[in-house]
């Protein structure tokens, strides 16, 4: 009975779509149809937001989008003989069509993504041998020690697990550099890391020359190892103990499986999250990709390698001559090549590693520039749509992933299009104010609803637009550069272990203030034109509202580039672990309440504890997962708060021995469930209306804060070198 009912619902929905799209161009009819569709989508969202009804709602939304496309194509383009209006008008039209095309690709990929996969247990006797690769270039040894210690603590038979530090910072090429200081640094690094690996039980491996960047480093690891599988962790990505237990079982289920990818979870906020203070209350940007898009790609056997937090089959890599290195995004390129050879991939939607992401805005832009340029190289050299061996859905999935990075072009056009009318009186959009408002407003409202259906609690309204805007200003020249010279970009390691010691404006902030000033002038021009040309008031009001929306976005961006002082590179993770706190010969029971990479907060009970914390040096004693006996970790007391008969103690770790790195890694990285709980705590869906109201309040406050930073630090601070230092905090 259910299937005929759903078939009937689909038939009705299809008939409604055809009816809505083919309606004669009539403003009142369109307003009525758009309002009805919007109400239907809202009602379905409230009562039937999943399954077939979700697809029905998206189908109705698609009808309005197609209706808008039909109207834009047939009724709004300027005459060809007026080139001064036609050219910018055509560019605006193409930018909108790009957005619509990407929306349809998103619908194909994530309209109904796969649910999270269950774990695949595997018998102890069937466990494959695994080589763990930790590629490194210039990362701090303390950071590497924590990652290696976490990898060595993986819950896996020791005789089938080998951990490799692949060090590209100590190559023969760097040690023999013509720059004597650089050579001495490389020599010392190599000696220190060899000693560190020997103490932790890992293997140290470097090579003669730094060729083909990370891909070349990984391939060198393949040449010197023999494991059935290869797990890859970036230098700042430490795995949970259960990582291999949660992933290797899939390879026994499918002999043509080349990849099991897991999400990247970050212990620290990115610049937007830190400067806007949204890290604890709003889902992170990467959660939209890892929480929804990768599951959608997984449905079409197109989940791709993301450079870390993944396990790959050696046999597959050998078939393709190792990791691909034509582009600077070797991960996605490798996945395309292996998918085209008939290999399969799996995505496991469970955070099993914790890492760091760029803290400063300049490092964030540097990372995104590399991603954008690498994807453009893949589009140029691999062109997924015509890649032989890929299925049609895989072609569409990879085209979506690569074409996404063209967003700086339409974003730039959307930003400045209203100014063509306000400043130059160019008619790049031939429609009355009423038509413009009715069609565009209904399209935007339906688009926001569709985005809410697709991403829900994983992405709040307008946040994606803000992320794209703050990247556009600096990514546009990077994308143009790789389009003109596809082989020019080179791999650059992103600095992530940074802290900001003083509140300041980013050295990349100047363009954002210039753009904000131009858009603000546009607001005054709008008011003047309404007064001076009342017969054009309808069009001027609509275009002015568009410019005002851009101004709101630009104002929010001022808060992003106004970087807050923050000494700690990572936030604390809540845990509840029994331990003993000791000073000298005095040991008292305690509980570790939260922990970061550099320290912890303990709660100590009893009167004897009050006297014990008067000194700065102390220790904590607990039994790590990898041991049956308690181990002692030295700490320095930083602060204490008396709470009745208990004392809350803030302390920092003192790593003096190798075992101390292992203990810190055990506290922070052993238990993956704590990361899942943290993600769940900030995933909620405010809805389109409440989300929009929240964003407007946020933008107003951040505009004021950004301008305050400008006048407080002076114009000389804009573009000044970053006062950020690299530290594992």
pLDDT for the residue 96:
96
Separation of alpha carbons 69 and 61, rounded Å: 13
Q: Which residues have CB under 8 Å from 491's CB, separation 6+?
A: 213, 214, 328, 370
pLDDT for the residue 486:
84
**Over the stretch 382-414, which tens digit does the pLDDT of each residue have?**
999 999 999 999 999 999 999 999 999 999 999
Q: What are 310's two structure tokens?
A: 């993944």
- Class of the CATH-defined domain 126-359: alpha beta
pLDDT for the residue 353:
95
pLDDT for the residue 714:
57
Judge whether 125 counts as a catalytic residue: no
Domain residue ranges in the chain: 1-75, 126-359, 573-680
**What is the residue-averaged pLDDT of the chain?**
89
Strand partners, 282: none
Is the pLDDT at 320 greater than 80? The verdict is: yes
pLDDT for the residue 612:
55
Separation of alpha carbons 555 and 703, rounded Å: 4
**Over the stretch 251-275, which tens digit does the pLDDT of each residue have?**
999 999 999 999 999 988 999 999 9
Strand partners, 15: none
The answer regarding whether domain 573-680 maps to CATH 2.40.10.220 reads: yes
Most confident of 101-105, 111-115, 603-607: 101-105
pLDDT for the residue 526:
96
User: How many CB atoms are located within 10 Å of the residue 595 CB?
Assistant: 21
User: How many CB atoms are located within 10 Å of the residue 664 CB?
Assistant: 26
Closest CA to 674 of 82, 348, 291, 267: 267
Is the pLDDT at 349 greater than 50? The verdict is: yes
Instruction: Output the CA angle 297-244-252, nearest 5 degrees.
Output: 70
pLDDT for the residue 319:
95
Q: Which residues have CB under 8 Å from 588's CB, separation 6+?
A: 580, 581, 582, 604, 605, 606, 608, 609, 612
Is the pLDDT at 8 greater than 90? The verdict is: no
Section 122-145 average pLDDT:
91
pTM of the model: 0.90
For the chain, the maximum distance between any two Cα atoms, rounded to a whole number of angstroms, is: 91
**Over the stretch 605-644, which tens digit does the pLDDT of each residue have?**
765 555 555 667 889 999 998 888 899 999 998 888 877 7
Closest CA to 274 of 571, 691, 45, 478: 571
Q: Please, is 22 exposed, middle or buried when counting C-beta atoms within 10 Å of its C-beta (0-12, 13-18, 19+)? A: exposed
- Segment among 224-233, 319-328, 544-553 with least mean pLDDT: 319-328
pLDDT bracket for residue 494 (50, 70, 90)? low
- Segment among 53-62, 587-596, 607-616, 692-701 with least mean pLDDT: 607-616
Is the pLDDT at 72 greater than 50? The verdict is: yes
Separation of alpha carbons 62 and 80, rounded Å: 29
pLDDT for the residue 570:
65
pLDDT for the residue 716:
42
Judge whether 594 counts as a catalytic residue: no
Out of 146, 167, 168, 270, the active site residue is: 168
Residue corresponding to tokens 């930003």: 415
Out of 298, 331, 497, 666, the active site residue is: 331
Separation of alpha carbons 531 and 43, rounded Å: 42
pLDDT for the residue 492:
67
Buried b (16+ CB within 10 A) or exposed e, 367-391: bbbbbbbbbbbbbeebebeebeebe
Is the pLDDT at 725 greater than 60? The verdict is: no
Is the pLDDT at 692 greater than 90? The verdict is: yes
Separation of alpha carbons 19 and 33, rounded Å: 10
pLDDT for the residue 387:
94
Section 86-113 average pLDDT:
94
Query: What SS3 class is residue 165?
Result: strand
């Amino acid at each position: 009975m259910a299937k005929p009912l759903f078939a009937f619902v689909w038939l009705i929905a299809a008939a409604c779509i055809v009816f809505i799209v083919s309606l004669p161009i009539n403003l009142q009819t369109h307003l009525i149809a758009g309002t009805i569709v919007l109400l239907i989508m809202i009602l379905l969202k409230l009562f039937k937001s999943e399954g077939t009804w979700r697809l029905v709602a998206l189908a109705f939304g698609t009808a309005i989008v197609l209706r808008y496309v039909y109207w834009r194509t047939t009724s709004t383009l300027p005459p060809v003989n007026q080139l001064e209006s036609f050219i910018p008008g055509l560019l605006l039209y193409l930018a909108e069509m790009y957005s619509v095309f990407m929306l349809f690709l998103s619908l194909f990929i994530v309209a109904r993504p796969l649910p999270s996969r269950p774990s695949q247990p595997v018998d102890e006797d069937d466990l494959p041998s695994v080589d763990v690769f930790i590629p490194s270039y210039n990362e701090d040894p303390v950071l590497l020690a924590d990652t290696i210690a976490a990898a060595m603590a993986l819950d896996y038979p020791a005789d089938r697990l080998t951990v490799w530090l692949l060090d590209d910072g100590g190559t023969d090429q760097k040690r023999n550099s013509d720059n004597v200081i650089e050579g001495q640094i490389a020599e010392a690094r190599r000696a220190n890391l060899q000693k560190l690996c020997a103490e932790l039980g890992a293997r140290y491996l470097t090579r003669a020359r730094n060729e083909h960047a990370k891909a070349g480093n990984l391939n060198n690891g393949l040449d010197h190892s023999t494991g059935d599988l290869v797990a890859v962790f970036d230098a700042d990505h430490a795995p949970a103990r259960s990582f291999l237990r949660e992933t290797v079982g899939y390879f026994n289920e499918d002999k043509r499986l080349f990849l099991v990818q897991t999400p990247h979870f970050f212990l620290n906020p990115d610049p937007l999250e830190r400067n806007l203070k949204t890290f604890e209350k709003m889902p992170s940007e990467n959660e939209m990709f890892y929480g929804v898009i990768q599951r959608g790609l997984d449905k079409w056997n197109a989940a791709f390698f993301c450079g870390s937090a993944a396990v790959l089959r050696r046999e597959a890599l050998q078939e393709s001559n190792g990791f691909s290195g034509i582009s600077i995004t070797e991960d996605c390129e490798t996945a395309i090549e292996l998918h085209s050879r008939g290999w399969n991939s799996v995505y496991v939607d469970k955070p099993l590693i914790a890492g760091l992401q760029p803290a400063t805005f300049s490092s964030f832009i540097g990372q995104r520039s590399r991603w954008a340029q690498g994807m453009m190289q893949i589009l140029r050299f691999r062109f997924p749509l015509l890649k032989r061996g890929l299925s049609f859905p895989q072609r569409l999935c990879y085209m979506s992933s690569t074409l996404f990075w063209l967003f700086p072009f339409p974003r730039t056009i959307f930003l400045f299009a209203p100014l063509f009318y306000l400043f130059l009186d160019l008619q790049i959009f031939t429609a009355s104010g009423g038509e413009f408002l009715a069609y565009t407003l209904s399209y935007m409202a339906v688009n926001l609803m569709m985005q809410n259906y697709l991403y829900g609690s994983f992405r709040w309204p307008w946040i994606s637009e803000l992320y794209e805007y703050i990247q556009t200003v600096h990514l546009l020249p990077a994308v143009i550069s790789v389009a003109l010279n596809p082989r020019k970009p080179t791999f650059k390691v992103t600095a992530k272990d940074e802290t900001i010691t003083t509140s300041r404006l980013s050295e990349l902030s100047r363009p954002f203030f210039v753009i904000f000033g131009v858009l603000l002038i546009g607001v005054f021009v709008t008011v003047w034109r309404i007064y001076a040309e009342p017969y054009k008031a309808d069009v001027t009001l609509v275009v002015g509202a568009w410019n005002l929306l851009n101004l709101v976005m630009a104002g929010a961006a001022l808060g992003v580039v106004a970087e807050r002082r923050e000494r700690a590179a990572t936030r604390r993770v809540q845990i509840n672990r029994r331990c003993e706190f000791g000073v000298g010969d005095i040991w008292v029971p305690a509980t570790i309440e939260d922990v970061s990479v550099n320290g912890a907060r303990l709660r100590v009970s009893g009167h004897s504890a009050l006297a014990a914390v008067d000194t700065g040096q102390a220790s904590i004693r607990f039994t790590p997962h990898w041991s049956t006996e308690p181990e002692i970790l030295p700490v320095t007391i930083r602060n204490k708060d008396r709470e009745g008969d208990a004392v809350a103690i803030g302390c920092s770790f003192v790593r003096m021995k190798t075992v101390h790195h292992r203990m810190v890694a055990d506290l922070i990285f052993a238990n993956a469930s704590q990361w899942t709980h943290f993600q769940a705590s900030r995933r909620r869906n405010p809805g389109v209306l409440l989300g929009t109201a929240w964003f407007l309040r946020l933008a107003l406050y951040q505009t004021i804060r950004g301008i305050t930073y400008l006048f407080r630090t002076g114009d000389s601070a804009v573009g000044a070198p970053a006062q950020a230092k690299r530290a594992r905090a």
